[in-house]
Every structure is written in structure tokens, then in C-alpha cells.
Amino acid sequence: MTQALPKLLTFNEFIEWYPNDAKRYELHKGVIIEMPPPTGAHEKVVGFIAHKLTVEFDRLNLPYTIPKTAFIQTPSAESAYSPDVLLLNLDNLDNEPLFQKQSTVSQAASVPIVIEVVSSNWRDDYYNKLRDYEEMGIPEYWIADYAALGARKFIGNPKQPTIFVCELVDGEYQMTSFQGNTAILSPTFPQLNLTAQQIFNAAN
């Protein structure tokens, strides 16, 4: 007997299906993925980073905001991610056809920075999302691996908590790692006064 393959969803089908409950879901290549429940430490790191970036764009009087919940739709429309920290450029949202009704952006011009705080599904952050954000042309992507969950080839052996800042250069991400008291260098916020250790301490 031949077993029927599960139907892959389009983005619109995913949005129509999305339930009104406390759980978080993403669409990965047409497949609905339930995101792991966030830990308290994870949420403290998310809140700390969001606060630091908010202080910075307020100081510079930039037209940015960080939404509570929003999706990034990938160019292929097969995936929709809900990042832990999504910095939006308000000046470009009028060009986003899905933002008003579905809180979704699909243009790199709307996303100065996207940040994923690593949890148990770390492969998504290091592989799938990195590839898709790069293809989309998002200029800056952070991987905040505060609990040292990623592979040793990324964060060393023994594993060390690490922040990666991925800068888009000629269409490809150049990854720079930051550990300990190293100051994080952000292309979007070159005067950002923040170390990797401050982010790690936020989890405690």
C-alpha cells in the first residue's frame, strides 16, 4: 500500500489555520511546527536584548519598533517564522501587503535586525533560519546561544555561550562570534554598548 504524504500548507492556509491559544507555531517548508515552550531564562534574554535595542533606536530617533508578535514570510512563501526579537522599520511597512491584516513582513527593507534566542530546536536557528534570512537579504541576524546548545563546530569544545552577529556582505552572511566580555559589534548600531556576557547574565 502507498501511504499518502501529508499536505504541505501555503502561507495563507497556515495563517487561516493558526489557532487562538497560548502556543506558538511556525511554518517550515509547508509544515506546521509547534515551537518549544520558552523557559524563564530564555524570555529574560529576549526581554533584555529587546530593551537594549529599544534604548539604542530611541536614542538615535530611528523609525523602528519591536512588535510583540509578527511573522517573517520567506521568499518562497513556504516558511513563516516568528523571531524572538524582530526589529521593524516603520517607514517601510506601508509597502508590506500582509502587515496590516496578518502582522507579516516579507521585505528585507522592513527588517534591520532579526534575532533568534537559541532553545532546544537550535538547528533551526543555525541552519534553516540563517539560510532563509540570508536569501531574503536581511542585513543583520543574531544567534543568541546563551545556554550553549549549538553544535561544537559553532561554539567550541567545550561548548561556550556565544552570540553570533551575521552581517550580509555581497549576499552572504559573514558570522562573527562574541563570548565573555567581548563587546558586540552591530553593523546597524555601531555605538551599541553591550557585551556578550551582559546578555548571558540576563538569563540568571
pTM > 0.85: yes
Q: What is the pLDDT of residue 151?
A: 96
Residues 6+ apart with CB under 8 A from 84: 42, 46, 49, 115, 116, 117, 144
Output DSSP code: residue 142. E
Give the right CATH number for 39-202 from 3.40.50.2300, 3.30.365.10, 3.20.20.370, 3.90.1570.10. Answer: 3.90.1570.10
Regions in the chain scoring below 50 on pLDDT: 1-2
For the beta carbon of residue 22, count every other beta carbon within 10 angstroms. 6
Q: What is the pLDDT of residue 76?
A: 78
Q: What is the pLDDT of residue 5?
A: 52
Where in the chain are the domains?
39-202
Assess contact for 83 and 51: CB atoms under 8 A.
no
Q: What is the pLDDT of residue 2?
A: 46
Q: What is the pLDDT of residue 110?
A: 98
